[in-house]
């Protein structure tokens, strides 16, 4: 029988003997990183209210805050998208939220959760992002992660993935860890991408203070099947919900980069946190996720990068799944379901697009 104390999509909700082999692996990994109380939240996190860490970015009228100020809904309708921004800049940190994405028909819709300093450094900004890409009714959300350092938008480092759950049904935690030596993207407690800094990266590793953003906006020109499917406003409003907000790190003045505390100590504290250490079980979970749910990675795209960028770690079991274009091989597409063509090229910033839409 199902264990109804757990969320419907949690892999330990059902008897292990009835799970598909892939979910059995995830169930065992998730169980091994669970804490002693039996909950799945392995990280020791302190959440904040909206007022304690965020401010509206654009379209206040499409930002719906809960009465207790612990949650916020960002709305997209035919008039505008919406967005929020952290009240402070951070020189390294851990940024996290439980997020639920819009349901039903979501083609053309993009929900972004990302760090950036483009407002301070327009031509040489840094950025780390989750971007969730909507789809037509009956087709799943996809998402991508990316990293820019010192304005390296011409050297995009994007990866694209599917999820093992429906992100519109329940909340799931999405997190970005950024320290002086590493970057880790998490979905729940599963690390899905790790970037280790090395000297050869130079300025391509983000190093300037950044704010945290969350936005929802209309990206009909590219988000779904290269723009084939547009946002349909008969389904409006599209609502993305954010709760259990976490902002941990060293706050700084972005101009003179002075902080009220010692950022060296703050960075050391980040490195000591549980989310900064990938356990052997989490390492297996990351490998499982990347081999089953990643469908594009720049590290295996030899057309763009004949020599892989210096931070790329070539994993033979991963590489054999991909073509020289960095896209999943046809046999793997057949196995995992069809994927749309990957679109390269720089897109507008989420802040700029939201403001432009609000002005229409």
**Percent residues over pLDDT 70 in the chain:** 78
Q: Taking CA 285 as the corner, what is the angle to CA 284 and CA 287, rounded to the nearest 5 degrees?
A: 65
Sheet of 182-187, strands arranged across: 63-65, 71-76, 238-252, 89-100, 172-178, 182-187, 190-196
Q: 2 or 88: which carries more pLDDT confidence?
A: 88
The first and second tokens of residue 11, run together, are: 């892999």
Q: Tell me the per-residue pLDDT of 321-354, one tens digit each, with 9 for 90 and over.
A: 999 999 999 745 545 444 444 444 444 445 444 4
What pLDDT is attached to residue 154?
72
| pLDDT computed for residue 254 by the predictor | 73
Q: Which residues are catalytic?
A: 127, 131
101: pLDDT confidence band, cut at 50, 70 and 90? very high
SS3 251: strand
pLDDT of residue 27: 56
38 secondary structure, DSSP code: S
What CA–CA distance (Å, rounded) separates 283 from 262? Answer: 31
Give me the pLDDT at residue 26, please.
55
Task: Render 122-176 in DSSP notation, one character per residue.
Answer: SSS--EEEEEEE--STTS--EEEEEEE-TT-GGG---EEE--SS-TTTS-EEEEE
| Residue % of the chain over a pLDDT of 90 | 71
200-212 residue pLDDT tens: 999 899 999 999 9
Which pLDDT belongs to residue 42?
62
Tell me the pLDDT band of 240, cut-offs 50, 70 and 90.
Answer: very high
Q: How far is CA 78 from CA 54, 141, 251, in A?
A: 25, 21, 36
Q: DSSP character for 254?
A: T
pLDDT at 263: 84
In the predicted model, is pLDDT for residue 314 greater than 50? yes
- Greater confidence (11 vs 139) lies with 139
Q: What is the pLDDT of residues 3-45, one digit of tens each?
A: 444 444 444 444 444 444 445 555 545 544 444 333 334 688 9
Q: Which residue has the higher pLDDT, 95 or 21?
A: 95
The 10s digit of each residue's pLDDT in 250-307 is: 999 877 766 656 688 888 999 999 999 999 999 999 999 999 999 999 999 999 999 9
Locus of tokens 């990183």:
33
What integer pLDDT is reported at residue 4 of this predicted model? 45
- What is the CA 130 to chain-centroid distance, rounded? 3
d(CA 261, CA 136): 48
* Region 63-79 average pLDDT: 98
In this prediction, residue 165 carries a pLDDT of 97
Residue 266: per-residue pLDDT = 87
């Amino acid at each position: 029988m199902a264990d109804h104390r757990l969320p419907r999509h949690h892999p330990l909700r059902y008897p292990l003997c009835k799970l598909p082999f892939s979910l059995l692996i995830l169930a065992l990994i998730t169980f091994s990183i669970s804490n002693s109380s039996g909950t799945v939240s392995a990280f020791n996190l302190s959440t904040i209210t909206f007022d304690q860490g965020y401010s509206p970015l654009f379209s206040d009228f499409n930002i719906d805050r809960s009465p207790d100020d612990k949650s916020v809904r960002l709305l997209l309708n035919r008039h505008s998208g919406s967005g929020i921004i952290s009240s402070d800049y951070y020189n390294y940190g851990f940024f996290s939220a439980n997020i639920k994405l819009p349901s039903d028909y979501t083609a053309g819709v993009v929900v972004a959760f990302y760090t950036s300093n483009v407002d301070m450094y327009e031509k040489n900004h840094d950025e780390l992002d989750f971007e969730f890409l909507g789809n037509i009714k009956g087709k799943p959300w996809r998402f991508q992660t990316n990293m820019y350092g010192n304005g390296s938008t011409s050297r995009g480092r994007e990866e694209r993935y599917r999820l093992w759950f429906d992100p519109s049904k329940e909340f799931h935690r999405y997190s970005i860890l950024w320290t002086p030596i590493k970057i880790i993207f998490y979905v729940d407690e599963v690390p899905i991408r790790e970037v280790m800094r090395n000297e050869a990266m130079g300025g391509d590793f983000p190093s300037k203070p950044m704010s945290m953003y969350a936005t929802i906006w209309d990206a009909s020109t590219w988000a779904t099947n290269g723009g084939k499917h547009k946002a349909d406003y008969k389904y409006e409003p599209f609502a993305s919900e954010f709760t259990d907000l976490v902002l941990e790190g060293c706050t700084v003045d972005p101009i003179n980069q002075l902080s009220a505390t010692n950022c060296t100590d703050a960075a050391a504290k980040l490195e000591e946190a549980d989310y900064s250490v990938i356990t052997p079980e989490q390492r297996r979970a990351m490998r499982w996720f990347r081999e089953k749910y990643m469908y594009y990675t720049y590290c295996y795209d030899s057309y763009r990068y004949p020599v892989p960028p210096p931070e790329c770690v070539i994993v033979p079991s991963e590489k054999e799944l991909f073509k020289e274009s960095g896209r999943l091989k046809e046999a793997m597409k057949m196995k995992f379901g069809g994927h749309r063509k990957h679109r390269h090229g720089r897109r507008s910033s989420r802040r700029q697009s939201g403001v432009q839409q609000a002005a229409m």
